[in-house]
Amino acid sequence: MRFFLLSDNIDTQIGMRLVGIDGIVVHERDVLLTELGKAMANPEIGIILMTTRLIDLCPSIISELKLRQSDKLIVEIPDRRFSGNFGSSIEKYVSEAIGVKL
């Protein structure tokens, strides 16, 4: 089982590459969905890391994949420009997954 990174910036990609995680930098929604589809179809990839900005490009699709996929884990990671409250976005996904507001 491998990790794979979908990032919106080269800095995150380089950092992950230093620890042995392959990935790609994308900026457009169409390219993101194409690359995400490839990663989801690859049986060697078990965990897909995505930067917050990319998740914001298609939040409903990502949420749906998170809820329906049993063999892949999609994990949101902040990048160096992230200024929000990351804990609240995790709380949001947990709330959506279990159907209870935390």
Q: Give the tens place of pLDDT for each residue, 48-67.
A: 999 989 999 999 999 999 88
Q: Give the tens place of pLDDT for each residue, 30-41.
A: 999 999 999 999
**CA contacts within 13 A on the Cβ side of 45:** 23
| Spatial distance between the Cα atoms of 2 and 26, rounded to a whole number of angstroms | 20
Whether residue 2 contacts residue 11, with contact meaning beta carbons closer than 8 Å, is answered with: no
Q: What is the pTM of this model?
A: 0.77
- Torsion angle in degrees (nearest 10) through CA of 18, 21, 26, 32: -170
In this structure, the strands spanning 45-51 and 73-77 are: parallel
Q: Give the tens place of pLDDT for each residue, 72-98.
A: 999 988 876 665 555 555 566 666 766
- Site of tokens 């990319």: 54
Total domains in the fold of the chain: 1
Range of the domain at 94: 2-98
Residue 12 belongs to a domain with what CATH number?
3.40.50.10580
